[in-house]
Amino acid sequence: MKKYLLDTHTFLWFMEDSKFLSKNANSKIINGEIYLSIISLWEIAIKINIGKLELNFSLEKYENSWKKIGGKLLNISTNHIFNYENLELHHRDPFDRMLIAQAKVENLIVITKDRNFK
């Protein structure tokens, strides 16, 4: 079974059953071993706090629903931080850079629409 790490927008699209999530990505999420970084929850909380994002439900409800469908949370480890430190600057968003570092360390495939992840 393939293991996937969801980018923040992918997580939100999946949880909200958004038309923006492709059928291919949806299938991978349903049929794979799926992870969400704690970084994504932090990013969402920041965006809610500064008024850049509104959710249909509380962030806590999203996280609880994620766990109920078998999704796993990926915490930050020192190995992730060390990998982050050595990443080339192809992507400047600090949240996305940490997702890339985590995916590399944990051997996860990132599901994202962001072309900068390549």
Strands 109-111 and 72-74: unpaired
Which residues, 6+ apart, have CB-to-CB distance to 12 below 8 Å?
18, 44, 55, 62
Could you tell me which of 7, 3, 35 has the C-alpha nearest to residue 22? 7
- Residue for token pair 């969400």: 36
Backbone angles phi, psi at 4, to 5 degrees: -125, 145
* Per-residue pLDDT tens digits of the chain, which is 118 residues long: 899 999 999 999 999 999 999 999 999 999 999 999 999 999 999 999 999 999 988 999 999 999 999 999 999 999 999 999 888 776 678 899 999 999 999 999 999 986 665 5
Which pLDDT score is estimated for 24? 94
Residue 11 identity: F
**Residue 25 pLDDT:** 94
∠ at Cα 19 (1, 7), nearest 5°?
50
Domains and CATH numbers, the chain: 1-76+110-114 (3.40.50.1010)
Verdict on whether the full-model pTM lies above 0.85: yes
pLDDT at residue 118, rounded to an integer: 59
The token duo for 42 is 């932090």
